[in-house]
Amino acid sequence: MYVGTLSFDLLLGDVHSLKEKRSVVRPIVAELQRKYAVSAAEVDHIDLHRRAIIGLAAVSGDAAHLTDVLDRCERLVAARPEIELLSVRRRFHGDDD
């Protein structure tokens, strides 16, 4: 069994309130969950209106498949024009850990 996690540090564009922030972050989280069947949520910077950390996790029996899913998730978030992806933190845990 392999477990992979990603943590996206995002700078949001023209956002001036927490309500506007939710309207940007929620669709990203929902699309990740729908397209790739991963667990995803906003996990940090909850009270800041121009910053967000989105975390996601996925489990697979195949390391190559898990790497592919994480790569696709990273490309999806990086391609969003309304945000700037500041950093991505990737962790990969296998049976040997």
pLDDT at 54: 96
Tens digits of per-residue pLDDT, 35-78?
Answer: 999 999 999 888 888 999 999 999 999 999 999 999 999 999 99
Angle ∠(63,75,82) on CA atoms, nearest 5? 150
Tens digits of per-residue pLDDT, 3-13?
Answer: 999 999 999 98
pLDDT at 14: 86
Question: What tokens does 12 get?
Answer: 């949001």
pLDDT at 76: 95
Residues 6+ apart with CB under 8 A from 77: 8, 10, 28, 32, 54, 83, 85, 88
Side-chain-facing half-sphere of 20: CA atoms under 13 Å = 12
Say what the pTM is.
0.88
